[in-house]
Amino acid sequence: MKTVATIAELRSRLDADRAAGRTVGFVPTMGYLHDGHASLMRQARAETDVVVASIFVNPLQFGAGEDLDAYPRDLDRDTRLAEAAGVDLLFVPGADEMYPEPVLTTVSVAQLSEPLEGASRPTHFAGVATVVAKLFAIVGPCRAYFGEKDFQQLALVRRMVRDLSFPVDVVGCQTARELDGLALSSRNTYLTREEREAAPVLYRALRAGVASILAGERDPAFVRSLMAQIIEAEPLARLDYAEVVDADSFRVPDPLAGNLRLLAAVRFGRARLIDNVGVTVPAPTQGG
Ligand code: PAF
């Protein structure tokens, strides 16, 4: 595996690969890699000829007072994990390489960026869309792998790629979980032992929401409040939101129907964790 720090070097290597007929797989990350990232890298390894992963803690997607400075970093460990997962090129640009001058051009994806994470973190998705657009412009035509844990981010990236005709195939990959259901996240490292024990309540609440829908519940308010009650019963959890939306539009269908996503964000001490699960409800048939 080769570590590359400049845009020019990454571009010329990937251009040469594509000119030789090789396909490119791309896994964008903010580092502090875990097995969820490794599974994206392994999938890219299995499906494409040259695998590039990026590590860049993107300041644009952190709001004032968020954890930009505290965000965990360990490049040596990340390098070992990426290499073991089959990455060929590890792109690790500095902030000066990515943003040599103040950024005047930003990308925002209306509508999809407004509810849920967008409401809680108003500048977050413009920061994500801008850096992902920039990374796509640097990497060029590729298959890009994103985890479903950040489901709203995945939807937004897919839409941006369609709207702006990026030559990128976006591949959504299943969330990797601990045995007790907690979704893998770099931010899990912030949890104390007690908070770590409490944190699986997030996934339990989402699954209870799904179970209620599978049992016939069609009122979004009921499902929302069921999930909220389960989370709020955990003394170490502070609910940010729990919601059920249409998986494409992110609007709340009432009654619930179609391809749904249940999403929640919960604080445990310093950590703000998000998770989601999907369920499909057939539309009611005429006359019954
Ligand atoms: O999901 C992440 O780690 C980040 O939001 C991403 C896509 C690498 C952009 O900084």
**pLDDT tens, per residue, the chain with 288 residues:** 999 999 999 999 999 999 999 999 999 999 999 999 999 999 999 999 999 999 999 999 999 999 999 999 999 999 999 999 999 999 999 999 999 999 999 999 999 999 999 999 999 999 999 999 999 999 999 999 999 999 999 999 999 999 999 999 999 999 999 999 999 999 999 999 999 999 999 999 999 999 999 999 999 999 999 999 999 999 999 999 999 999 999 999 999 999 999 999 999 999 999 999 999 998 767 665
Nearest-angstrom CA–CA distance, 14 and 288 = 56
Query: What pLDDT shows up at residue 274?
Result: 98
Query: What pLDDT shows up at residue 282?
Result: 80
Query: What pLDDT shows up at residue 288?
Result: 54
Query: What pLDDT shows up at residue 139?
Result: 99
Give the ligand 1 atom nearest the CA of 29. 8
In this structure, the residue with its CA closest to atom 3 of ligand 1 is 29
User: 227-256 in b/e burial notation, b at 16+ Cβ within 10 A?
Assistant: bbebbbebebbebbbbbbbebeebebbeeb
pTM score over 0.95: yes
Using a 6 Å CB cutoff, which residues line ligand 1? 28-30, 58, 61, 128, 131-132, 150, 153
Mutate to test the pocket of ligand 1, among 27, 52, 145, 150 (most ligand atoms within 8 A of CB): 150
**Which distant-in-sequence residues (6+ apart) come within 8 Å of 90 by Cβ?**
1, 2, 3, 4, 52, 53, 54, 55, 78, 79, 82, 83
